[in-house]
């Protein structure tokens, strides 16, 4: 019994991705069509390849790069490789959450300083020099890039 093949447009529509994206996955060697019609250039995929595309899209949503996905979905990869990759990606997301929480804390401190400052609550009523002085006292920026951005914003 011959295996049912699906056209690239069919699986693109099913997964709500572009045909161009699937061709990029093909170019990267992640998902290779089972058959390409030499006359029309139509690409055909098997059910296994459709499942592989589903896995690719899930991993992409989790933040994996295409090269990471290629390694995970390669023929030699096993469950241990997948678990290692997932644990590493989880750590990356935990670090991102911690960094975001630090930024939220810094914003909360700035908000508190602004609320409790004795300066004018309407910054537009202050002179440029007063506004720069007040903002520099309220905002505590720890990194050099942030200081440069703040400095540019104050003097625009």
Q: In this predicted model, what pLDDT tens digit does every residue of 74-104 receive, in sequence order? A: 877 788 888 999 999 999 999 999 999 999 9
Tens digits of residue pLDDT in 108-126: 887 887 777 665 456 677 7
Phi, psi of 17 (to 5 degrees): -125, 165
What's domain 6-77's architecture? Orthogonal Bundle (1.10)
Three-class SS of residue 45?
strand
Domain layout of the chain by residue ranges: 6-77, 89-155
Evaluate whether 59 touches 69 at the Cβ level (below 8 Å). Answer: yes
């Amino acid at each position: 019994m011959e295996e049912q093949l699906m056209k690239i447009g069919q699986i693109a529509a099913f997964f709500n991705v572009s045909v161009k994206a699937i061709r990029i996955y093909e170019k990267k060697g992640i998902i290779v069509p089972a058959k390409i019609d030499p006359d029309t250039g139509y690409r055909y995929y098997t059910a296994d390849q459709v499942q592989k595309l589903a896995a690719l899209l899930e991993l992409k949503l989790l933040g994996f790069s295409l090269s990471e996905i290629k390694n995970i979905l390669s023929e030699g990869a096993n469950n241990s490789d997948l678990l290692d990759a997932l644990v590493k990606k989880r750590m990356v997301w935990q670090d991102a959450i911690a960094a975001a929480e630090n930024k939220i804390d810094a914003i909360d401190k700035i908000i508190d300083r602004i609320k409790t400052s004795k300066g004018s609550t309407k910054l537009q009523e202050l002179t440029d020099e007063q506004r720069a002085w007040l903002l520099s006292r309220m905002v505590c920026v720890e990194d050099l890039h942030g200081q440069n951005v703040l400095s540019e914003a104050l003097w625009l």
